[in-house]
Amino acid sequence: MLAQAAKLWPFFVVMQPLGGAVFALDGILIGAGDTAYLMWSMLAASAVFIVIAALSLAFHWGIVGVWAGLDVLIAARLVLLSVRFAGRRWAVVGYA
C-alpha cells in the first residue's frame, strides 16, 4: 500500500491546482448558463481519458496509468474551459 501511494503521490499533487482552476471555471460557466459547452467539453476530455485508461489496461500500467489518465482529463478540461472563458462568448448580459 505504501509503495503504491508513493507512486501515486506526484499525480495527486499535480491534480490539486489544476482541479482548483477547473472547478472555479466550472462554477463561472454554470452560473453563466453555459452548460451545453460544459457538457461537450467534458465529453471531449472523457474521450481522452478513455483512451489512456484503455492503454493502461493494455500495457499493464495499473493504478499509475489510471491516475495519469485522470491528470490528463483534468488538464484537458482546464484547456477547454480556459479557451471558452478567454473567448468571452459565455458572458451574456440580460435575457437572450
- Domains of the chain, by residue range, sit at 14-87
* Secondary-structure breakdown of the chain: helix, strand, coil percentages, each rounded to the nearest 5: 85, 0, 15
CA 85 to chain CA centroid, Å, is 15
Q: Using one digit for the tens of pLDDT, what is the confidence trace for 2-41? A: 888 899 999 999 999 999 999 999 999 999 999 999 999 9
Q: How far apart are CA 66 and CA 45, in angstroms?
A: 14
Q: Using one digit for the tens of pLDDT, what is the confidence trace for 76-88? A: 999 999 999 999 8
Q: Using one digit for the tens of pLDDT, what is the confidence trace for 55-66? A: 999 999 999 999
